[in-house]
Amino acid sequence: MTNPLLDDWTTPFGLPPFDVISDDDFAPAVDAALAESRANIAAIAENPDAPDFANTIEALERADETLGRVLGVFYNLAGADSNPAREALQRTFAPLLSAYGSEVSENKALFARVEAVWENRDTLDLTDEQQRVLMLTRRGFVRSGANLAGKAAEDLRAVKSRLSVLGTEFTQNLLADEREWFMVLGADDLAGLPDFVVATAKAAGAEKDAGGPIVTLSRSLIVPFLQFSERRDLRQKAYEAWGARGANGGETDNRGIAGETLKLRQDRARLLGYDSFADFKLETEMAGTPKAVRDLLMQVWEPAKAAAEADAAILEKMLRADGFDGRLEPWDWRFYAEKRRKELHDLDEAELKPYLQLDRMIEAAFACANRLFGLEFAPIAGPAYHPDVRMWDVSRDGEHVAVFIGDYFARGSKRSGAWCSAMRSQQRLSGDIRPHVVNVCNFAKPEAGKPALLSYDDARTLFHEFGHALHQMLSDVTYESISGTSVARDFVELPSQLYEHWLEVPEVLSEFATHAETGAPMPEDLLNRMLGAATYDMGFQTVEYVASALVDLGFHDGPAPADPMQRQAEILEEIGMPHAIRMRHATPHFAHVFAGDGYSSGYYSYMWSEVMDADAFAAFEEAGDPFDPETAKLLEDTVLSSGGSVDAAELYKVFRGRLPGVEALLKGRGLDKAA
């Protein structure tokens, strides 16, 4: 019997045949793919011909094609639709894949061939893209320990293997905590909740078979509950459960995992000759050094903190006016901020939400991509990996560009947050391979027959992730290793954060923000009030983010802390964290940093990219048209199509002529006048 993961896929657009793939297929497919990869690596290393770009670097690009195809399917399912079998497979695969990676990086014959190509690069008549791929390939080997030998190499191998296991455990513990906790709401517990929150709570209760409405730890439900619930005791209970994810004791507690992870990362950096893990990690990013990161964050921290403290004083007065003694607490902030927003801007979520239908916001994201880049989107009816998932054929001028897959609703089998991934990346080395791009979100699923309604923050998230998707879909490179979002971590958020700006374009909202029941467009007065409130509460939002970024940096810029929770508290005290605001991601549930290496020492990157995105959208404003075709073409030709084929700073300078300062960011957040 054949394995569908290893067969040729004759499905439309080469999509995975989800309807015939079972969990039992993954382990044998990974075993077979690893065996094939190992054979390919051995063939490259033992090739008797003199090393050149084709037989060494391009051969390496092709070596893991089957493995990448299998894992592209598996990890998408493991993140978006997990189950006990897939969680067990994650735990099995982590050390296997780490061991394979170490085998490749420690293969001395293989690295010698890479070095030979590198030494002879000036005689090989390489294109600029090939020069870049060669440099990145060699750098990857060196940073993976190719120059180490003996005990140092063995130690590094053990460190990387253990880190892969810990990252998987951290993710699964967090998912378990998020999945298991919920709070049942009785009739007396609904005070202040708008109909859309009650409906969402009922839908969540039906999924859990709880017999009535519930609050879960899904952000799309708990945040509006904290905004509107008049029951301060329930807000506290829900908030503290939300903040305690990964820190509840027992088998799912992540605090020990965080401590061990930080120690092992420091060991890894020292083995490779760096003073700290932050020095190692930031060497390849735009920022370059921990000092550059800290300087940026502190330039933003001080005005954000001043704005937040001024807001806190006002919110605390509102708390006292309601008859509560004591200080404003974290579970109070969103409630009183929502009340104050209505006072200042005559705006509340309940009035706004009917105009932000999920389907219409998807249409808006597509329409902007059409006007900017000429992309068209046609639904695909084929089987997906979950009934909620939707798929589109993306084309331009009649030519297929990509498959876009949208998975929008929260469910117990999906990890929290929102993300973009490519089940298949664009490349031309093995044929004209077009990407399969996935956006995963966690929006509240409506009751059957009702339209899904988004908050404005949800709509921004949808546009954000679609900006990442465009980066993948418009990629135009030869080599997969530099395709799409394979760029510096502090550059990867530029396309996503830049795309959020088009949600704020009045003509976009006028067309697509239509009422769920009447179909009427959002009234101009409401539209103006919504856009006028765009920077409302930005002190709070900036403080909770920058605090997380500073803790991340502090964890990795120096010796590993013996007790991460104590070190977290020390850092927050050093920067003067306001009492009523907590980190956006406390250490035990800081998946960006501890579920893998992706954003470790790099959570700052959203802010670094925001410095650029504020300046990049200004290029359209300077052209006098948010859809200016010449500016859009330049954006695609530089930032969106080039992937990692050119240094990120150089790409940006081609687009804008220079690198920006922090001023545009502060102005965009309304913090330029903060004391």
| Average pLDDT score, the chain | 95
CB neighbour burial string for 133-159, b if at least 16 within 10 angstroms, e if fewer = bbebbbebbbbbbbbbeeeebebbbeb
Q: Is residue 187 part of a domain?
A: no
* pLDDT at position 674: 55
* pLDDT at position 351: 87
Which stretches of 557-604 are DSSP H helices? 564-575, 591-594
Active site residue 399: no
Q: Is residue 143 part of a domain?
A: yes
Gap between the Cα atoms of 315 and 302, Å rounded: 20
Q: Is residue 301 part of a domain?
A: no
User: What is the reported pTM?
Assistant: 0.92
- The phi and psi torsions of 311 (rounded to 5 degrees) equal -65, -40
* pLDDT at position 90: 96
Kindly report the number of other CB atoms within 10 A of residue 542's CB atom. Answer: 25
Q: Using one digit for the tens of pLDDT, what is the confidence trace for 234-275?
A: 999 999 999 999 999 999 999 999 999 999 999 999 999 999
User: CA torsion angle for 419, 349, 410, 359 (degrees, to 10)?
Assistant: -80
Pair of tokens at residue 454: 């988004």
Q: For residue 139, give the nearest of 167, 162, 111 by alpha carbon.
A: 111
Owning domain of residue 470? 354-477+503-528
Average pLDDT over residues 392-401: 98
Residue among 61, 309, 316, 465 flagged as catalytic: 465
Pair of tokens at residue 199: 């409906």
E strand or H helix that includes residue 95: helix 84-105
Give the CATH number for residue 508: 1.10.1370.40
Q: Using one digit for the tens of pLDDT, what is the confidence trace for 35-70?
A: 999 999 999 999 999 999 999 999 999 999 999 999
Q: Is residue 593 part of a domain?
A: no
Q: Which of 121, 147, 173 is the last residue of a domain?
A: 147
Q: Is residue 490 part of a domain?
A: no
CA angle 299, 604, 470 (to 5 degrees): 120
E strand or H helix that includes residue 379: strand 376-380
Q: DSSP 3-state assignment of 380?
A: strand
Residue 532's pLDDT band (cuts 50, 70, 90): confident
Q: Using one digit for the tens of pLDDT, what is the confidence trace for 117-126?
A: 999 999 999 9
Long-range contacts (CB closer than 8 Å, 24 or more residues apart) made by 258-263:
258/170, 258/564, 258/587, 258/588, 258/590, 258/594, 259/560, 259/561, 259/562, 259/563, 259/564, 260/162, 260/166, 261/163, 261/166, 261/167, 261/170, 261/594, 262/555, 262/556, 262/560, 262/561, 262/564, 263/560
The set of residues, in sequence order, having a beta carbon less than 8 Å from that of 381 and lying 6+ positions away, is none
Pair of tokens at residue 554: 């502090």
Q: Is residue 433 part of a domain?
A: yes
* pLDDT at position 144: 95
| Residues 244, 254 contacting (CB under 8 angstroms) | no
* pLDDT at position 675: 45
* pLDDT at position 1: 67
The total domain count for the chain is 2
Q: Using one digit for the tens of pLDDT, what is the confidence trace for 139-184?
A: 999 999 999 999 999 999 999 999 999 999 999 999 999 999 999 9
Q: Using one digit for the tens of pLDDT, what is the confidence trace for 588-598?
A: 999 999 998 88
Q: Which of 111, 127, 147 is the last residue of a domain?
A: 147
Give the CATH number for residue 134: 1.20.1050.40
Pairing relation of β-strands 419-424 and 436-443? antiparallel
Q: Which of 118, 147, 176 is the last residue of a domain?
A: 147
Tell me: pLDDT of 26 over 90: yes
Label residue 192 left, alpha or beta by phi (over 0 means left) and psi (-120 to 50 means alpha).
left
Pairing relation of β-strands 376-380 and 390-396? antiparallel
Q: DSSP 3-state assignment of 199?
A: helix
Average pLDDT over residues 413-424: 93
Kindly provide the residue ranges of all beta strands, DSSP E only, lying in 224-295, ordered along the sequence.
Answer: none
Q: Using one digit for the tens of pLDDT, what is the confidence trace for 362-391?
A: 999 999 999 999 999 999 998 999 999 999
Residue type, 367: A
Pair of tokens at residue 215: 């609050």
Q: Using one digit for the tens of pLDDT, what is the confidence trace for 560-575?
A: 999 999 999 999 999 9
Q: Is residue 675 part of a domain?
A: no
The set of residues, in sequence order, having a beta carbon less than 8 Å from that of 621 and lying 6+ positions away, is none
Q: Is residue 254 part of a domain?
A: no
